[in-house]
Structure 1
């Protein structure tokens, strides 16, 4: 109660002091629960003293049951109304606090429960969850969208289609490959829904195969996946380096980057992507989501700018039916298929996101959806991006003579009529490059880690470690970065190195996707019969389309872009592919043949609770009876 005008004494009901927070103490330490608990504590503390800057004779009527007393707080220089008896108000504050805490408890408990369920399901598949499950379906969709990087991929490979058919190959080649890629993505999604493991197609191949052949089939497919992930990352960042240097050409047409400048720029891009992955892993979810909006906005801006500022426009007949393969040296019909490398390379990375399964809640549902939706979204985005470019396409001969085979900057400059305008549009593409490079290296590092923990990579004990301060496999990231930087040196011997990188990336990833699909098809799709993402009666047809295309792609993507061929213009995709095959062959017969037994799922007894759940550098310790507790952790 108030005892005097200038002297205040207030008594309070202590009901809020007894608000139970025991449940809160047991909450997992997540950002969401911490914010909710902080809000609850703030409400409780403020309920103890409610001061309102009201007039001296005014009392608020919106707190029924609360008695107010007036006093003159002369020392404060303004009249205040103090709460004398606020039992009801405090009671309501306590109730509100209980609601907030209850909501935080339920929300955090549900999140924690989903994580536990996913990790328990992972344990039944043979592994211990070591990475935080903080990625959503939208984030995985963004990652897949970032790796494909449609405007960037189509821009950096535009030279290929302009050489091999021009408008028909650019547009209809894209539509054709988009539909085929949708079949492959659906086939992979069906399998992923049954086996949501970071090993991806490598793990699926072992699980779908018979126990006798599981080790060798998974070993081959694992190396195809690993090389594919490395070379996709390499091709994205190498073409990005070429595109960055081509931006200089917009302002200085006499500038031609030499080999050292290109390789050093490539190394700088790789270093940037590696640093973001290492020290910004907690922001990958946000980065992947921003990628979707940046890409969409960039396509719209480029579309509108080109159509508005172009002085001349091509006819609809040119855009939808013009075909000219005279610059390729190939027969006209075959040139169209060689030109499909542009679309196939751009639409290759969707399967890489399977390596993120162990960082997603409900991966059996979210990751398959992300794989299929990303391909569908990429297909539509590509059409929206390509049609305006074809309508405003400048002289093709001029574009094919551009240094570094990156004509998109010159195209933007010519259409907008200024170097600044051309660079402005190119800057949007370079932004997509950053998302693509970061996303591809993320997927490559997770793929490396997943393959290494089963002992399939030389030095697997090191590369299978997870740094729990950074919540990511640092050594797998370092290995992926170093391998790509070394492969970039091929450019010193071949000016057509980028075509080799795109070719081997497309071949390796496409083949790795085809192995589990083929095994499943041969075994009459028994293991995916009850998949949560079932293709139903169309499954066999979709699988067959995928296999036929992949077999055909292996042949055409080893071809050079144009004829005649010399040492500098040769497509070295087959050479790079053979080099990695030799490394895998030697490693298999030197070590893996006797020690590598494939993923733990290849042994039926691994499904027993608590038996041989692998973590970290587990590798093929499961063959030696290692348990989780024996694994080293940083």
Structure 2
């Protein structure tokens, strides 16, 4: 049966227009069913009964299913295009991202446009208006979107939560707080650092909401600085961020390797891992994390979400198991008020800060690293700042819930401090449960958190490397900035991050004390990199964040920012201190030496090349007007995705 509004040729047959419309309808329905399996027949019936509304119906279909390019079908082609008019085809320009050219053969033009939408859906999982808006906002900041926007706010929250890895971080640094104050330092030090970390996270979130790019604090420092200081400030902060990301990943995975080997000593108390075994185990952990990032990038969203549930379940299981199986329990006074820093050699008050910073501050450091994932999130100006703050709040509560049961069932402190590899958590679990199997079962939960932390830290480090290389700030940046289209990841930045960490791990062959300083270096670099944009923002009277989606307010904003700066300066000094006195070559804290070494490399690279060639990311030209000046990456060599300074020097910032 022919619909009433179809033209009918003499003899009962359809006209050329009717046949053309039938072809368009048939192919449209087929493409709809391909794009979204299980398309209901009602849609097909609607198209058959109302063929003139085929393109408006298709637009509604694409929009309702969050498919790309719905705007391309906002206006149907003219009837002349369907009834075979022999005149020149009309070119109809619609809203971006597509410009549709309708030819005389309707089935070819409509099918080609639909196939473009299908190819886009297969190639990228970033769909919907949020991704398109984010890409446009990124372009206004001077960059081209090259990574798929497939991560949600919950995924970024999980990534930040994974990098901080609260139970893992507190377990691997427990010997520091047991040396420097025990219960008071362990519990109240954690609470204090958590509160201050919320202030720092809020300060970063306020800026991130205005400048959501993978460059993170490096890019923010340039945007907030004056035109003449932007290249130098961004270069310094970029190297601090890069080294911080690399060394955090290094310290997480290396301490994880030590924790894995400590699991053997649960069953064999005479086992002490040698240097080779430790380094090889570390390389194995790095390899697993790299392979997951390279070949499992499409599953990172799921992995990050699983991390949240794994961590929460692990904390509950450990808490219940320890409290029910312990033979003895300490009093509430011991848990909340016991303080003993006699083993540290430091004065009482100073020992408290040495202990809390080198445990709690190290654990609560990675929240700012997730800013490097801004270009893989839809609506990053809302989701990423929210994830940064919520992850710190969640980490603070998780730490309290995890620490209180440990303190109630804590075995003899001197026995725990005598563990050869400074990883007493396995012995603690074994002692409380009364069996090696029980101790290993609880330790296995911590090792699972380790893998989530290692994968997440390497993800953030590779994105940071990619963003910094994109602006020409790393030697060999033309290679490191490439994005592999098959995996949708910056594969060479991932390779570089993995290789740097594996090479730095070799330092353990020469000096274990020097290598252990990387924990301090990671915290110093990341804390300082967080402080630079906050300080510049204060100096510039917070003009750039005046209209931030997450404002701290005219009164509270400066107060919170000042607290952040004071705390960061204080923590940098503390992290250069040894854990205990007296100091010898084996107990010396070499963090300042290692930090100076990285600084020397950056200094040499700046004056050898970057001083004349590196001009920073696209930066604001200064003044009250919101204008972006695309400075470029290097003279005559704009970065991948950046626009050339010769072709486009000013952009209106939305």
CA distance in 2 between counterparts of 1:555 and 1:121 reads 39
The answer for the alignment partner of 2:39 in structure 1 is: 40
The answer for the alignment partner of 1:59 in structure 2 is: none
Where do residues 71-150 of structure 1 align in structure 2 (5 Å cutoff)? Answer: 102-103=60-61, 105-106=63-64, 107-109=66-68, 111-150=127-166
The answer for the alignment partner of 1:72 in structure 2 is: none
CA distance in 1 between counterparts of 2:552 and 2:505 reads 40
Q: Is the 1:595–1:620 contact (alpha carbons within 8 Å) kept by the matching residues of 2?
A: no
Where do residues 246-257 of structure 1 align in structure 2 (5 Å cutoff)? Answer: 246-257=262-273
Q: Secondary structure at the match of 1:397?
A: helix
Q: Is the 1:230–1:483 contact (alpha carbons within 8 Å) kept by the matching residues of 2?
A: yes
Shift of 1:568: 2.2
The answer for the alignment partner of 1:423 in structure 2 is: 440
Where do residues 142-541 of structure 1 align in structure 2 (5 Å cutoff)? Answer: 142-340=158-356, 341-497=358-514, 499-536=516-553, 537-541=555-559
CA distance in 1 between counterparts of 2:327 and 2:57 reads 63
CA distance in 1 between counterparts of 2:580 and 2:29 reads 67
CA distance in 2 between counterparts of 1:624 and 1:220 reads 23
The answer for the alignment partner of 2:583 in structure 1 is: 565
Q: Secondary structure at the match of 2:212?
A: coil
Using a 3 Å threshold, how does the CA distance of structure 1 residues 22 and 520 change in structure 2: closer, same or farther?
farther
Q: How many residues align?
A: 561
Q: Secondary structure at the match of 1:253?
A: coil
Match of 1:587 among 593, 605, 611: 605
CA distance in 2 between counterparts of 1:186 and 1:609 reads 25
Deviations 1:412-462 (A, max 9, x none): 000000000000000000000000000000000000010011111111111
Deviations 1:522-561 (A, max 9, x none): 1111110110000012101110110000000010001111
CA distance in 1 between counterparts of 2:187 and 2:26 reads 62
Q: Is the 1:151–1:385 contact (alpha carbons within 8 Å) kept by the matching residues of 2?
A: yes
Using a 3 Å threshold, how does the CA distance of structure 1 residues 610 and 561 change in structure 2: closer, same or farther?
closer
Using a 3 Å threshold, how does the CA distance of structure 1 residues 315 and 459 change in structure 2: closer, same or farther?
same
Using a 3 Å threshold, how does the CA distance of structure 1 residues 623 and 365 change in structure 2: closer, same or farther?
closer
CA distance in 2 between counterparts of 1:18 and 1:44 reads 18
The answer for the alignment partner of 1:619 in structure 2 is: 639
Deviations 1:220-270 (A, max 9, x none): 000000000001000000000000000000000000001111011001100
Deviations 1:284-338 (A, max 9, x none): 0000000000000000000000000000001100000111111111112111111
Q: Secondary structure at the match of 1:339?
A: helix
CA distance in 2 between counterparts of 1:460 and 1:573 reads 28
Q: Is the 1:124–1:607 contact (alpha carbons within 8 Å) kept by the matching residues of 2?
A: no
The answer for the alignment partner of 2:94 in structure 1 is: none
Shift of 1:622: 6.5
CA distance in 2 between counterparts of 1:127 and 1:582 reads 30
Q: Secondary structure at the match of 2:210?
A: coil
Shift of 1:403: 1.5
CA distance in 2 between counterparts of 1:24 and 1:194 reads 42
Q: Is the 1:127–1:613 contact (alpha carbons within 8 Å) kept by the matching residues of 2?
A: no
CA distance in 2 between counterparts of 1:498 and 1:473 reads 28
The answer for the alignment partner of 1:576 in structure 2 is: 594
Shift of 1:389: 0.2
Using a 3 Å threshold, how does the CA distance of structure 1 residues 250 and 39 change in structure 2: closer, same or farther?
same
Deviates more, 1:604-613 or 1:368-377: 604-613
Unaligned runs of 5+ in 2: 1-20, 71-126, 649-654
CA distance in 1 between counterparts of 2:510 and 2:503 reads 13
TM-score, L = length of structure 2: 0.81
Q: Is the 1:189–1:372 contact (alpha carbons within 8 Å) kept by the matching residues of 2?
A: yes
Shift of 1:104: 5.0
Shift of 1:496: 3.1
Q: Is the 1:288–1:435 contact (alpha carbons within 8 Å) kept by the matching residues of 2?
A: yes
Q: Is the 2:187–2:403 contact (alpha carbons within 8 Å) kept by the matching residues of 1?
A: yes
Q: Is the 1:119–1:129 contact (alpha carbons within 8 Å) kept by the matching residues of 2?
A: yes
CA distance in 2 between counterparts of 1:189 and 1:611 reads 24
CA distance in 1 between counterparts of 2:293 and 2:437 reads 32
Q: Is the 2:620–2:626 contact (alpha carbons within 8 Å) kept by the matching residues of 1?
A: no
Q: Post-superposition, which runs of at least 4 consecutive aligned residues in structure 1 deviate over 6 A?
A: 16-19, 21-27, 98-101, 604-615, 620-624
Shift of 1:603: 5.1
Q: Is the 2:632–2:644 contact (alpha carbons within 8 Å) kept by the matching residues of 1?
A: no
CA distance in 1 between counterparts of 2:641 and 2:131 reads 26
Shift of 1:625: 3.8
CA distance in 2 between counterparts of 1:24 and 1:528 reads 48
CA distance in 1 between counterparts of 2:594 and 2:411 reads 35
CA distance in 2 between counterparts of 1:574 and 1:609 reads 37
Using a 3 Å threshold, how does the CA distance of structure 1 residues 598 and 316 change in structure 2: closer, same or farther?
same
The answer for the alignment partner of 2:566 in structure 1 is: 548
Using a 3 Å threshold, how does the CA distance of structure 1 residues 24 and 415 change in structure 2: closer, same or farther?
farther
